[in-house]
Copies of this chain bind each other. A is one copy, B any other.
Amino acid sequence: MHLFDNLDSGNGYKVRLLLAQLGRPYEWTNLDLDAGASRTPEFLKRNPNGRIPTLELDDGTCLAESDAILFYLAEGTPLLPMDRLGRAQVLQWMFFEQYSHEPNIAVVRYWMSIAAARPRDSVIEARRNAGYEALDAMERELAEREFLVADRYTIADIALYAYTHVAGDGGFDLSRYAAIARWLDRVATQSDHVQITA
């Protein structure tokens, strides 16, 4: 397998973390996104949406979207429930992550700690407020259980850990989220955990 990735990306980190925990070897390419490396005609054949992470399988088939890649890789492992409802609940949290969490928490982190320029303050504040709403939803759930789904560590936890644990880079104050803090510790102490940058 060959992972097309970028080291600044929490979406890419999800896949790196899962591959480490599954003990799967892979080749790796860090694409220069600012130079348009994910939008070349060659790369668009791998992913018509021109984004990383994109995973090229050994037969040349490519798979895109971080959470779809997690689902593919985790099939048949303890990190994805076998039952229909458990799998759907994992997907519920992964769609929550891509719709309500990442566009706010990851994007504000990007503006505050990676990008060369920031949008106007009102734009940042609107995203930050929506990010806090996503954290509120996680806190409500994690106050009731140790992991997001099935009372054990799954790819739903990996998907949401990726940008939650670095939310402080975007100026989010996590000190008000006690249940999230305990969950972050639980995720970070799973075997074969790796950090967001090696």
Contacts and interface: CB of A to CB of B under 8 A. Distances in A.
Interface stretch (A2-10, A25-33, A91-99): A91-99
Interface in A28-47: 44
A44 B95 CA distance: 17
A51 B96 CA distance: 10
Nearest to A11: B99
Interface of A: 44, 48-51, 57, 61, 63-69, 71-72, 75, 84-85, 87-89, 91-92, 94-96, 98-100, 102-103, 134, 137-138, 140-141
B95 A65 contact: yes
A49 B100 contact: yes
Nearest to A75: B84
A48 B134 CA distance: 9
A50 to B, nearest CB: 7
Please state the number of chain copies in the assembly. 2
Given A69-B88, A88-B72, A137-B49, A95 B96 contact: no
A65 B49 contact: no
Nearest to A54: B92
Contacts of A63: 85, 88-89, 92
Which 4 interchain pairs have the tightest Cβ spacing?
A: A72-B88, A65-B95, A68-B91, A68-B92
A48 B140 contact: yes
B48 A68 contact: no
Contacts of A51: 100
A69 B140 CA distance: 21
Q: Which residue, A71, A89, A95, A138, has most C-beta atoms of chain B within 10 A?
A: A95
A179 B141 CA distance: 42
B95 A137 contact: no
A99 B50 contact: no
